[in-house]
């Protein structure tokens, strides 16, 4: 593997790892997922350690994303969506990383489940009629 290919694959795996630990709870299924990704790239033990060494939870991924070619970013988006769902629950922090990749490749950003819930609550509360509007209808 060339140095450029290794660097690309390393960044790719670091972003996947960052997503998996973004919710502060890494399940066995998530560990297995990352292990499969690293094995697919043919990483040895030292290279796998380099993946973990390069992950900083608080660091935005935009710098790493900018170093990936467009095709790798597209593949990464699908990989991240699968990784986020592997534990059966997609956390807000995971969605933020996925949205950052979507923005980088020009894909639409979808509202988060919590934003959808809040919007739904607002719509329901705005549909409720005030007592005065109910009285007007009943007197006519």
% of the chain exceeding 90 in pLDDT: 61
Q: What's the pTM value of the predicted model, to 2 decimals?
A: 0.76
In a domain, 139, yes or no: no
pLDDT digits (tens, 9 = 90+) for 11-43: 999 999 999 999 888 999 999 999 999 999 999
Residue 16: give its domain's CATH number.
1.10.3680.10
b/e burial code for range 46-71 (CB count within 10 A of at least 16 → b): ebbebbeebbeeeeebeebbeebeee
Domain count, the chain: 1
What confidence score (pLDDT) does residue 114 get? 52
In a domain, 62, yes or no: yes
Given a cut of 60, whether residue 131 has pLDDT beyond it is no
Given a cut of 60, whether residue 96 has pLDDT beyond it is yes
User: Which pLDDT band holds residue 113 (cuts at 50, 70, 90)?
Assistant: low
Q: How far apart are CA 89 and CA 91, in angstroms?
A: 6
Question: Strand, helix or coil at 58?
Answer: coil
In a domain, 140, yes or no: no
């Amino acid at each position: 593997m060339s140095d450029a290919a290794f660097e690309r694959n390393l960044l790719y795996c670091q972003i996947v790892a960052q997503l998996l630990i973004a919710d502060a709870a890494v399940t066995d299924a998530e560990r297995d997922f990352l292990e499969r990704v690293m094995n697919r790239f043919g990483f040895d033990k030292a290279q796998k350690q380099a993946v973990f060494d390069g992950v900083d939870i608080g660091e935005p991924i935009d710098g790493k994303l900018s170093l990936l070619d467009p095709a790798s970013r597209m593949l990464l988006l699908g990989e991240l969506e699968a990784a986020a769902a592997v534990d059966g629950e997609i956390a807000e922090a995971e969605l933020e990383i996925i949205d950052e990749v979507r923005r980088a490749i020009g894909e639409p950003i979808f509202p988060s489940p919590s934003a959808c819930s809040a919007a739904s609550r607002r719509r329901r509360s705005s549909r409720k009629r005030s007592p005065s509007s109910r009285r007007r209808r009943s007197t006519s």
